[in-house]
Amino acid sequence: MGANIQTWLTGGQALQALNARAVILSASINQSQAQGLTPDGQPGGSIFNTPSPSVTGAAGNTGTAILNAQLSNASQLPTNGGPFLLSYNAAAGWTATNQASQQNMLLGSAATLSFAGLNISVSGIVASGDQFLINPAPLAAAGITVAAVSPKSIASADPYVVTPGSVQSAGSILNSNAGTISAGGDSVVNVPASSAATVSSAYYGQTLQLNFTSATTYSVTSTINPGVSIASGSLSGGQGQVAVAFPSGAASGQYWQVPISGVASAGDTLTLSPGSSSSGSNATRMATLWTTPSTTTDGSLQQSVMGLGTLFAANAQQAQQRATATSAQVTTASNNLQTIAGVSLDQQAVVLTGYSQAYQAAAQVISTAHTMFESLLQAI
């Protein structure tokens, strides 16, 4: 019986793992969308509608706390999907327990809790002993729907294209640089390089300009207000970085980053213009998302899905083995019961058949006797 219960639990965990991977896949694609621009220059919207995490309070809770859960980083969500039991203790604060791995995480007593790629906001009064079950992927495999149906919705363009020179009044870029400074291939990072000139998300989408004040130092301005420096950086060994924070949305907390290198002279400029249909690095990133390492806690999406297939196969084999074992146990139990009772079910079946035949014969005798008795009464 214990093995059968374990099989049932394992099957439920496998389904939860499938739901978690569905969330990770859809959220990763939506995040890649938010990192680029559509062919008409608009920020990429979601490709998929993904079910939000669910929060269920325990029936015995005595506090008035309300918890709200949001997925903040799909790559940090364990592929087993939890779910997570949040327990509150007045002395220690919150503890999150992964119900699949039984791993405990101490979270403290802040109003916002962050763990396993989730952000949990807490409002109201929480009482010691209160518990909440957080499911990051409730029925996600069946609940995900497509939000974008047009190819024009695909954000294939880069957030920015870097061009040597400065923007002219007519919108064109004039390159009058004396040096050879230029940009390399862009990337999306969670933490910008320590030497990067980091631009706030408030300026995302605006045309930006790097203005070299010397051969090694530069400032960043926006063409909307070119007289105000919004970031600064420097070259070391002819190398530097520029990072622009993504705004709120699926890519919030990440940065578009591009390396710059070469020899600069005071007065040289680089212009960062919003990407267009001629730029396609974001499409390349989206195309390689399936095999990109660290997309999940198991590695790439490909590795994670293959691992899930192996898990399902192993679970199916275990279920078959346990079904066979259970059948044998039932047979053994039946034989043991017969032995303990001192009877054989086959023998009892023969006896029961004999009783049935005897009853039928007796019924026939009674019927015949009744007929004879009725005849005698009529004859008197």
Each residue of 71-106: pLDDT tens digit?
998 889 998 889 999 999 999 999 999 999 999 999
Please indicate, yes or no, whether residues 170 and 30 belong to a single structural domain of this protein. no
Confidence (pLDDT) at 335: 55
200: tokens are 């706030």
Number of domains in the chain: 3
Q: Is the pLDDT higher at 17 or at 92?
A: 92
pLDDT at 204 over 90: yes
Confidence (pLDDT) at 364: 44
Residue matched to tokens 């695909």: 154
Question: Within 10 A of 299 (CB to CB), how many other CB atoms are there?
Answer: 16
Please indicate, yes or no, whether residues 220 and 168 belong to a single structural domain of this protein. yes
Domain of residue 215, residue span: 159-274
Please indicate, yes or no, whether residues 163 and 146 belong to a single structural domain of this protein. no
Residue matched to tokens 């009064």: 125
pLDDT at 295 over 90: no
Please indicate, yes or no, whether residues 132 and 231 belong to a single structural domain of this protein. no
Please indicate, yes or no, whether residues 32 and 144 belong to a single structural domain of this protein. yes
Please indicate, yes or no, whether residues 78 and 142 belong to a single structural domain of this protein. yes
Overall pTM > 0.85: no
Residue 327 covered by a domain: yes
pLDDT band of residue 146 (cuts 50, 70, 90) is confident
Mean pLDDT of the chain: 81
Confidence (pLDDT) at 240: 95
Please indicate, yes or no, whether residues 214 and 266 belong to a single structural domain of this protein. yes
- 258 three-state secondary structure: strand
Cα separation, 152 vs 62, in Å, equals 51
Q: For the sheet with 225-234, list strands across it.
A: 160-164, 269-274, 208-212, 217-222, 225-234
Residue 305 covered by a domain: no
Please indicate, yes or no, whether residues 142 and 218 belong to a single structural domain of this protein. no
Amino acid making up residue 163: T
Please indicate, yes or no, whether residues 19 and 98 belong to a single structural domain of this protein. yes
Confidence (pLDDT) at 314: 54
Residue matched to tokens 């109201």: 124
The lowest-confidence range among 91-100, 258-267, 351-360 is 351-360
Residue 328 covered by a domain: yes
Residue 124 covered by a domain: yes
**Which one of 242, 258, 274 terminates a domain?**
274
Residue 311 covered by a domain: no
**Which one of 104, 120, 150 terminates a domain?**
150
pLDDT band of residue 275 (cuts 50, 70, 90) is confident
Please indicate, yes or no, whether residues 168 and 266 belong to a single structural domain of this protein. yes
**Which one of 150, 170, 205 terminates a domain?**
150
Please indicate, yes or no, whether residues 10 and 138 belong to a single structural domain of this protein. yes
Residue 41 covered by a domain: yes
77: tokens are 């969500």
Residue 299 covered by a domain: no
Residue 187 covered by a domain: yes
